[in-house]
Structure 1
């Protein structure tokens, strides 16, 4: 039985993304940066940065913009906490190029965490430049719950078999991959089901109680939708299927790559309709819900990973990449 200590109304707040713009001028180029300057713990911060030729002629060229490299850094309490590499999302004209980068925000940070962003870039492959952007974390509380596992789920949770360890290693190898050419969709993502009943939420603080009297604690990395077995499950966005198989813990599972380092995961299904290597469109049926793996009943577990870290899936249903589409 689950005991919820906090109302679930807080969960949907992070789909509303407010953009802030900043402008910087070099000797012969301009930079415009658009980003969300505030977010909740467990969400992400994304920066869209466009390099463009200034009105006066200079040494920067299309070739040099294509060779431009940049890094997004996140500082918490004065210390470098996270770093991500910008990737190209648009070759706008002969004299401009647009880049994007995202960083996951820890669910353990609070609104009192002092933080800021730093961008380090080079347009010519030599001299590095940098600038800072202000950033604020907003207050958010998370659900706490206790889950009593039956004997079957207790055994799955405690499973240390070679098969399960190999499955974990395979998944981690996928999630740690950030292919810079894997740019499939930068517009807002869809929900993977039409169901509205959520039975568990992102970053729930969980205590699992086993039948042997022992217990462990952890976070719930995604959102659970309570839907009948056999309900359609759809891809939340365009992308490439990089995993489609049955797993000890998560049952019939699908993982889709959407952007460099950004993946969606779908667990506990009863049947799959895609295979590894398939390219899928947003809203395309990829399988049917079930209760395979570690599950207390039929449901869909939907998860998003950015640079390996779990992030709030609701965040990506907003205009996280500043496409202008909602």
Structure 2
């Protein structure tokens, strides 16, 4: 069989044929794509809206999403023909479609245009008018937050993912603590949970009536978060006169491991604030350099000679390279590991 000739252009192109003519002629005559894809972009928070959702998409992700949408449209137009469609897009937003069959392929630039339209997103609109659906009131247990406690909460808020921070309408320092106004209930609850994951505390929910119109009530969610001073995940503390390793859990609960008995006690947030005190005794920080079947070897900071204790005198899981503290309890030298 000789080479196929396109009856429309009288050429013998080495490209796929569709409905008796070459792919080049077919797209020129039959395909009226002229797609203008509009992607909303909020200039205030630098988020894009794709598939009805505002988020921190990169331009590469935006182009990929638009290319996928155009490819689906092309697949619809070429459905029923024995060809395969693949659409690519470069960093400049130029689209290239590849039409191929089992023998050849044809590259074609569809008449498609990506337009980025500036539009204020709903979250930023609410910020502009000061509207918020929920408020988180962060206060101290038994009194107002100190300056260092406020700074710890503000630093925590700054570490939130951009998607979460985008829903925060306002953060305001008040005499008693910090008020956080949020545009969505679910995000407000998520922020409150993140605060309590790092700080011992309690949470109470309530609703405040804002307005009543036509028998419909409009309410605002109030989240009352009571915290004590944010602490490390693990720390040496004093509990009723005894030395203990404290590990802070979600919801402000604290698990204590008493030294040297290894007895474990679980306290709620209020109990932890009233019963736990910062350990003020003498501590010596060391680094573990080796572990044998019955001994743990460590070196003191700034020294070259190593020291050792038996495994029965170690609180925690010893591993080479871990930091630990040497403490004296009842005349006995112990090695406490917080990692």
Between the two structures, name the one with larger relative contact order (CA 8 Å, sep ≥ 6): 1
Structure with a larger share of its residues in helix:
2
